[in-house]
Structures are given as C-alpha cells and as structure tokens.
Amino acid sequence: MGGKRYKKSPKITNLKKFFVNISLFLAAQVLVGIVFSIPMVYYGPFITIREELVNTAMTTLNHQYIVKWFLSDEVIEKIMKKSKINYENKESDVESIAVFDEDVQKDESQVQLINISNEKVKGYILLVKNPSMVRLATTNKIGVRGMKLLDMVKENNAIGGINAGGFGDEGGVGTGGIPMGLLMKNGEVLYGNENEKYSIIAFNEDSVLVLGSYTIQEAKELRIRDAVSFGPYLIVNGEPLIKGDSNGGWGLAPRTAIGQRMDGTVIMLVIDGRQISSIGATLRDVQDIMLEYGAYNAANLDGGSSTTMVYENRIVNSPSSKYGPRDLPSAFIISK
C-alpha cells in the first residue's frame, strides 16, 4: 500500500518562481552591464580609466590579453608612451647628501616602522636613520634559484628589509635566481656584462643612494658598494619625474621603492596590491608618498608579487602571490 502523496502548496511554488525570476533578472542585468561597459571603457569617453587599465594590464606578464583583445598594438603603444617616465639620462648628485658618521650606533633605535595604510591601500615604510645599516643581500645560488626575503634577513641576522632588483620571470614561474641587469655586493660584481650600461639603484661606500646609467667600470669608479638594476627613477636631486596629470604609466600594482633624504635617512616603502583590501598603487602614488616623507632621491624597485617587507623576523605586508612570498635574487636589508 503506497503512502500518501502531498501536493505542493501553491504559495511555495509561487515563491520559488519569484526567486527564479529575480535571479534571472539580476543575471541579465549583470550580463547587460558587462556587454555595455566593455565598449564604454575601451571606446568611450573615459580616457583616464582606459589608460589605467592598459597600463595595469601591459605591465603584467600574464594579463596583457585583457587589453589586446580590444585594442590594437598601435593604440596600446601610444597609451604606454604617453605616460612613460623619461629617466634614462638622470643621475643623482651624491654631494647633496650628508655623509653619515660610521661610528653612530647600528641597532633597532635607528629604525622606525610606519603604517601608511588608508581606505584605498595598505602600505608600510621603514625609516633607517643610519644609512650605513642598509646593505644588499643576495641569494647564495645566483643563476640558479632565489631566496625568500625572510630567509635572507634571518641568514644575515638583520633587523628587516625589502625586496630589491628584478629577475627573469618568464610566464610568472621564474625561480628568482637570474637577476635582471647588474648585481653588485660589497663592491664585487656578481652578475652583469662589462660592455653594457645599466640603470642602477645603488649605494656607494659613503652609504649614499646613487641613481644613474653606468657601465661596470664607471660603477667601480663611483665607488659603488651595492647595486641592483630596476626602475624607473621617481625623484632625482629633489625633482619629481612624474609630472602633470601622468600616473607614471605602469597602472595599479603592488609596489616596492627606496629613497633617501638629504640627511641620509633611507626610506623603504611597500604597498600591497591585487587584493580586496588594497588594489595597489600607481607610480605617481609612490612618488607622492616619497615626497611626503622627504625623499631627495627615490626609485621604484621590483613590485608585483615580489613586493615584500620584513621587520623583526616577520613579514609585515601581504604579498599578492597565492603561493606566498616569492624567491628573490636580491634584497636591501637593514644590518646591525
């Protein structure tokens, strides 16, 4: 004998239909919004948004298709050139920076961590009053594999540090072992070609930040102690290089930068990006922060998923890679 069969209440059936219809309506609205917003962004009057999107996508290795689907190479190149920072012929004047007394103590009292987070981004600064404490650390497997920043800091018994130079990263899966450009540590050339000129971000034997394009021989003549290659430069001899309404041309991304005040104080900066709580910063944002904190010279370091800051044996920021902090070829650390 079969059990009783109950008919569904008309109220329940109508309620289900209502929610199904609402869901379909909302989905249709989203689809229509996407269909109409794409042409508006790429071909409409919103020039600033379009340029921001192009610069952001084209400075990544894995997401350039976002703009290449909709814009020609000619249009993309024009947008990129419009915001390009002309820094290749800029050189910092080392005589403008106070040479710090090497006998001044080297400890945590010379270092200050500042949280500069706001409603848009999460960022941190390490101020190092004694610039002679800033040194270059490198992976012990140059040409093979990098090291994580935290491991470099611990290995050198350092107070903290930030990632430094770029590295070969084809397809976003680089091992961090092959530096981009020149790499010098304690006056020794670890990576580079004698016949090439490199845009360097360096410290000389007086612990003065040096920016400029030099050959290895010229770097030695300038008494360069530690050097990496990256860019662009943001401030040279007190002059901000991003001017007018330009945002710097690299879009929004995690950022790492280093600068120096005229009194010798070193400014280490990281800004998180590609996260809900922090979308990232433009190079203009980074320049403005460096100016706010008194930088006389400042340069952009490797950013993106490499952006990392360590202080007192912990990672201060939130690296954007889903795999955690990346292996790096080099880092500017704060020695004791």
Give the per-residue pLDDT at 262: 97
In this structure, the strands spanning 209-214 and 309-311 are: unpaired
Q: Above pLDDT 90, what percent of the chain?
A: 61
Give the per-residue pLDDT at 220: 98
Q: Are residues 101 and 238 in the same domain?
A: yes
Mutual orientation of helices 73-82 and 47-58 as an angle, nearest 10°? Answer: 100
Give the per-residue pLDDT at 203: 99
Q: Are residues 36 and 148 in the same domain?
A: no
State the Cα–Cα distance between residues 178 and 194, nearest whole angstrom.
Answer: 17
Min mean pLDDT across 54-58, 109-113, 157-161, 252-256 is at: 54-58
Confidence class for position 27, pLDDT limits 50, 70, 90: low
Q: Are residues 101 and 31 in the same domain?
A: no
Q: Is the predicted pLDDT of residue 210 greater than 80, yes or no?
A: yes
Q: Are residues 135 and 220 in the same domain?
A: yes
Q: Are residues 221 and 149 in the same domain?
A: yes
Does the residue 88 lie in any domain?
A: no
Q: CB burial class (10 A; 0-12, 13-18, 19+) of residue 152?
A: buried
Give the per-residue pLDDT at 259: 99
Q: Are residues 117 and 68 in the same domain?
A: no
Give the per-residue pLDDT at 21: 52
Instruction: Give the mean pLDDT of 112-119.
Output: 94
Does the residue 286 lie in any domain?
A: yes
Question: Torsion-angle region of residue 212: left (phi > 0), alpha (psi -120 to 50) or beta?
Answer: left
Q: Are residues 123 and 153 in the same domain?
A: yes
The model carries a pTM of: 0.80
- Average pLDDT over the chain, rounded to an integer: 85
Q: Are residues 16 and 58 in the same domain?
A: yes
Does the residue 4 lie in any domain?
A: no
Does the residue 237 lie in any domain?
A: yes
Q: Are residues 198 and 258 in the same domain?
A: yes
Give the per-residue pLDDT at 291: 98
Q: Are residues 252 and 111 in the same domain?
A: yes
Give the per-residue pLDDT at 60: 62
Does the residue 260 lie in any domain?
A: yes
Maximum average pLDDT range among 37-41, 213-217, 323-327: 213-217
Domain count for the chain: 2
Q: Are residues 231 and 319 in the same domain?
A: yes
Does the residue 2 lie in any domain?
A: no
Compare 303 and 120 and report the one with higher pLDDT: 303
Q: Are residues 126 and 226 in the same domain?
A: yes
Give the per-residue pLDDT at 34: 40
Compare 53 and 218 and report the one with higher pLDDT: 218
Does the residue 18 lie in any domain?
A: yes
Domain carrying residue 137: 94-334
Q: Above pLDDT 70, what percent of the chain?
A: 74
